[in-house]
Structure 1
Amino acid sequence: MELQQLRYVLAIAETGSFTRAAERCLVVQSALSHQVARLERELGAKLFDRTSRRVRLTPAGESFLPSARQCLDAAERAAAEVAAAVGEVRGRLTLGVIPTVAAVDIPVVLQDFHRRYPRVRIGLRAAGSKELVELVTGGEVDLAFLGLPATAHPRGVHYRELARDRLVAVLAPEHPLTGEPDVSLARLATEVFVDFPAGTAGRAQSDEAFAAAGIDREVALEVTAADLMAALVRQGLGVALLPSTYTPRLRGVVTVPVTDAPGRVEYLAWSRSGLTPAADAFCSLLDIPDAEAPPVR
């Protein structure tokens, strides 16, 4: 079994095509197909079902894929560790970010990181906090920026707290409450809300606050992107609650402090298996030099 064969299998699984996989791996399709067939003979099982219309993993392929990905990650990490031992940071760094990350200016930090470590390939995944934790534990994301209610902590990962904040009301400019110095959850509950999908950490911050106050509210529109949320608010389709440190990025809306606002905490999280050299360099850039000895929940 060779690493290149594993790369081919992964590329086919991700692209759903032998042709596109060969293009990604910069080889002719016949060579890729030959190596995959050779691997299948060695394993004694077919990894892919092929028809004229599509390619999909067999049950054997589904069970093989996670270990194949882990082998490739381990090989890449081994090469990165050797490079780091001689003073060079390279390899891959995949970051996960929530839509409302505010503790760090991600584009600015990534620009600085790329300037310092040009041989590191940077990847970015945007998702909710729950999904990002799963991606970290699964090894698909090296570091993740999370936002959780003040009553919660990341579970199953190492983490560092980055910042604490409170939510504010986000309103259309012509909304009657825009002239108020502040507003309560009870008053906001008379409005229709735009919010993140139910079950997400972003939604839980608001849901828990209203539940604790014994107040019901109507969430009419659920979206995953904060900028779309602001656009819907701007059109007068509802009000929203978003972190106060994030809302200055929004245009065309007005924010009002909430007297009994829910709190939220931003974290940086990573796998319990430790940091790659590239991830360690990124943590140092954020002034988290002791990231190798974090708390675990």
Structure 2
Amino acid sequence: MNLKQIEYALAVVDTGSFTRAAERCHVVQSALSHQIARLEETLGVILFERSSRRVRLTPAGEAFVHSARPALEATRRIAEDVAAACGEVRGQLSIGEITSLTELDLVDLLAGFHRQHPKVDIRWLMAKSELLIADVQERRLDVGFIGVWPGQRLEGVEFRLLAEEELVAVLPMGHALTAVEALTLGDLEDQPLVDFPAGTGARRQTDEAFAAAGVRHRVQFEVTNVRLVEKFVQRALAVGLVPARIASSFKDVAIAAIRDAPQRRLYAIWSKTPTPAARAFVHMIEQSLANREGN
């Protein structure tokens, strides 16, 4: 067994495909499959159940992943920790954020981080909060930026509260509710809504608020990107509920405050045992927030 074989097997687990794993590892699929076959031969077990549609871990494969992921990470971190002890931050930094992050300009932060630590390989993606939380817990991501409803507990990660925000209603221009002086969730009971899919962290913000108010609500359109909310509202198909900062960037819609508005909390989250690159990036986040609070 060698580290490359472990890396290849974990890439199949993360991507769910031998083809995508080979692309991620920059090798041809036949070479990756051969190395995983040798790994299975060495261990004397089958790690993956293969079919034409999907790849699934066997019970032995589940046990392998439980031990292999921290072992591979610890090996990779040896060089990074030694370099950090000598004053140099290097390695990889994987960042994930939601599409509706409003509190930080992440691209600017990453640009500043790159100038300070040019030997760190930065990777970035956008995803839903629940996926980002799982990825940080499982060490597939170093740092995540998420938005969750106030009652959600964050477990298995370190976190820093970035902001608490109230959601506002975004209405089609000329909508009857634009004449209401102070909206409540009850005013939206019979309105078609556009929101994120049921079960997502973003959706819970509105679901919990309506439930607390004892008001029914009807989500007619489910979207995965906050910019689609703008389009549905512009075309008078639905009413949306989004953070005020995002609503202010929408065009050709009316914005109305809600007295019993849904709320969300924005957090930065990271592993309880961060890499040197992750520690340096979290420190930069803290500096950015401190500078803003001081101005």
- Give the Å deviation of 1:193: 0.7
Closer, same or farther in 2 for the Cα pair 1:260/1:25, shift >3 Å? closer
User: Aligned residue for 1:292?
Assistant: none
User: Aligned residue for 1:210?
Assistant: 210
| The structure with more helix, counted as a fraction of residues | 2
Closer, same or farther in 2 for the Cα pair 1:49/1:254, shift >3 Å? same
- Give the Å deviation of 1:58: 5.5
* TM-score, normalising length: structure 1: 0.84
Closer, same or farther in 2 for the Cα pair 1:3/1:147, shift >3 Å? same
Closer, same or farther in 2 for the Cα pair 1:186/1:50, shift >3 Å? closer
User: Aligned residue for 2:108?
Assistant: 108
The answer for unaligned runs of 5 or more in structure 2 is 289-295
Q: Give the percent of matched residue pairs that are identical in Structure 1 and Structure 2.
A: 44
Per-residue CA deviations over 1:75-113 (Å, capped at 9, x if unaligned) read 222221111111111111122222211111122222222
User: Aligned residue for 2:152?
Assistant: 152
Name segments (4+ residues, structure 1) moved above 6 Å.
none
User: Aligned residue for 1:162?
Assistant: 162
Per the alignment, in what secondary structure is the counterpart of residue 245 of structure 1? helix
The residue type equivalent to 1:278 in the other structure is A
**How many equivalent residue pairs?**
286
The answer for unaligned runs of 5 or more in structure 1 is 290-297
- Give the Å deviation of 1:191: 1.2
Are 1:128 and 2:128 an aligned pair? yes
- Give the Å deviation of 1:30: 6.4
Per the alignment, in what secondary structure is the counterpart of residue 167 of structure 1? strand
Per the alignment, in what secondary structure is the counterpart of residue 104 of structure 2? coil
Per-residue CA deviations over 1:113-145 (Å, capped at 9, x if unaligned) read 222222222222333323322222111121121
Are 1:184 and 2:184 an aligned pair? yes
User: Aligned residue for 2:259?
Assistant: 259
Separation (CA, whole Å) in 2 of partners of 1:156 and 1:97: 18
The residue correspondences of 1:84-103 to structure 2 (distance < 5 A) are 84-103=84-103
- Give the Å deviation of 1:181: 4.8
Per the alignment, in what secondary structure is the counterpart of residue 237 of structure 1? coil
User: Aligned residue for 2:291?
Assistant: none
Per the alignment, in what secondary structure is the counterpart of residue 178 of structure 2? helix
- Give the Å deviation of 1:200: 2.0
Per the alignment, in what secondary structure is the counterpart of residue 246 of structure 1? helix
Per the alignment, in what secondary structure is the counterpart of residue 248 of structure 2? helix
- Give the Å deviation of 1:25: 4.0
Closer, same or farther in 2 for the Cα pair 1:125/1:185, shift >3 Å? same
Closer, same or farther in 2 for the Cα pair 1:44/1:100, shift >3 Å? same
Are 1:282 and 2:281 an aligned pair? yes
Closer, same or farther in 2 for the Cα pair 1:165/1:32, shift >3 Å? closer
- Give the Å deviation of 1:27: 5.1
The residue type equivalent to 2:278 in the other structure is A
The residue type equivalent to 1:150 in the other structure is P
Q: Which moved more, 1:259-268 or 1:178-187?
A: 178-187
User: Aligned residue for 1:38?
Assistant: 38
